[in-house]
Amino acid sequence: MITINNLTKKIDNNLILNNINLKIETGETKVIIGRSGVGKSVLLKHIVGIMKPDSGNIVINDKDITLLPEKELNKVRMEIGLVFQGGALFDSMNVEENVAFVLNEFMKLSRKVVKEKVADALAMVGLQGIEKMMPSQLSGGMRKRVSLARVLCMEPEIILYDEPTTGVDPITADAINNLIVELHDKLKVTSIVVTHDMSSAYKVADSIAMIYHGRVIAEGKPEDIKKTNHPVVKQFISGDARGPITENENLIFGHVR
Ligand SMILES: Nc1ncnc2c1ncn2[C@@H]1O[C@H](COP(=O)(O)OP(=O)(O)OP(=O)(O)O)[C@@H](O)[C@H]1O
Ligand SMILES: [Mg+2]
C-alpha cells in the first residue's frame, strides 16, 4: 500500500534521510524506531506530502504522491491521518472545533452528524465530554489524544502515529496501544507508528524498522528484532548508554552523515 523508494532529503546541508527504502503492506502496522533527531518525523511529513524529497519517491495506492499537484494531494491526504507528535491543535479553537476541523472543511455533513462523529472519536480515546475545553487547558497527553480523535473521525485507510505514547502515563499509553491494535485487527487500518517506546513497539508492530544515520539499518518481526545481534540495534532496544552509539554522537549528529 505504501512504498518508499530511495528517499533522500537534505535539510540545511545535513543529510537527514539517506536512501530510505520501506514497504508497508495493506493492513500492516509498521513501527519505526530510532534516536531523537534521526529523521522519523521528517519521514512521516514526506508520506503526507508536507515535505518534498530531494530524490526518491513515495507510492501510495499506486500513486507517486511526490509528483501530485496540491489538489490531488489533498484527496490522498483525506485517506491518511497523521497524529502529530505534539498534537498540532489550533489554540484558538475548542476541542470540538479541532476534532471536527477536517470534517467541516472538506466534507458536507450535517452539524448533527459532525457532533456525533466528534463525540464517538473522543470516546474512543477516552476523553468523552471535553468538547468545550480549549487546548491550553489540556495536558500534553490529552492533546495527543485529541489529535488522535481528529484523525479517527476521518476514518482513514492509513494512520501515521508520531510517538503516540511518549509523554503520557503508562495506563494511557497502554490504552493507546490497545486502540492501535484494535484499529489494526477490526478495521484493517494500515499504520506506521514512530516511537522510542520499545514496549509499545513490541505490542503493536507486525514489523519494526530502525533508522540510523539516515538509513534503515534493521527490519524484521518484533521477535527477530528482540534477538538481533546488530550492535547498534541491540544497544537501542536495551537502552544502554554504553555501546556503538555514543553520547558524543548527539553533538556531531548531522555532520557525520
Ligand atoms: N523544518 C526543519 N528545518 C530545519 N531542520 C529540521 C526541520 N525539520 C527537521 N529538521 C532537522 O531534521 C532532523 C530530524 O528531525 P526529526 O524531527 O525528523 O527527528 P525525529 O527523529 O522525529 O526526532 P524525535 O524523536 O526527537 O522526534 C533534526 O536534526 C532536525 O533538527
Ligand atoms: Mg519526531
- Could you list the pLDDT tens digit for every one of the 257 residues in the chain? 999 999 999 999 999 999 999 999 999 999 999 998 899 999 999 999 999 999 999 999 999 999 999 899 988 888 999 998 877 899 999 999 999 998 888 888 899 999 999 999 999 999 999 999 999 999 888 898 999 999 999 999 999 999 999 888 898 899 899 999 999 998 899 999 999 899 999 999 999 999 999 999 999 999 999 999 999 999 999 887 787 876 555 443 433 33
Cα(46) to ligand 2 centroid in Å equals: 13
Residue 251 has what pLDDT? 41
Ligand 1 nearest atom to the CA of residue 85, by list position: 27
Counting ligands in written order, the one closest to the CA of 35 is 1
pLDDT in tens, 10-58: 999 999 999 999 999 999 999 999 998 899 999 999 999 999 999 999 9
d(CA 121, CA 118): 5
Cα(232) to ligand 2 centroid in Å equals: 19
User: For the chain, where do the domains classified as CATH 3.40.50.300 start and end?
Assistant: 28-52+67-79+160-244
Cα(109) to ligand 1 centroid in Å equals: 37
Residue 111 has what pLDDT? 92
Residues 6+ apart with CB under 8 A from 47: 2, 4, 58, 60, 65, 80, 82, 160, 192
Nearest to 126 by CA among 201, 179, 192: 179
Q: Record the pTM.
A: 0.90
d(CA 141, CA 169): 8
**Residue minimizing CA distance to atom 25 of ligand 1:** 36
Candidates 11, 46, 216: which one to mutate for ligand 1, based on the most atoms within 8 Å of Cβ?
11
d(CA 110, CA 96): 15
Cα(114) to ligand 2 centroid in Å equals: 31
Counting ligands in written order, the one closest to the CA of 42 is 1
Q: Is 53 helix (H, G, I), strand (E, B) or coil?
A: coil
Residue 39 has what pLDDT? 93
The cell numbers describing 10, all together, are 537534505
Candidates 9, 35, 42: which one to mutate for ligand 1, based on the most atoms within 8 Å of Cβ?
42
Residues within 6 Å of ligand 1 by CB: 11-12, 16, 34, 36-42, 85, 254
Ligand 1 nearest atom to the CA of residue 38, by list position: 21
Cα(109) to ligand 2 centroid in Å equals: 33
Cα(87) to ligand 1 centroid in Å equals: 16
Counting ligands in written order, the one closest to the CA of 84 is 2
Candidates 9, 13, 16: which one to mutate for ligand 1, based on the most atoms within 8 Å of Cβ?
16
**Residue minimizing CA distance to atom 10 of ligand 1:** 11
**Residue minimizing CA distance to atom 24 of ligand 1:** 36
d(CA 74, CA 89): 19
Region 28-52+67-79+160-244: CATH code: 3.40.50.300
Question: For residue 177, which phi and psi values (nearest 5 degrees)?
Answer: -55, -45
Residue 105 has what pLDDT? 83
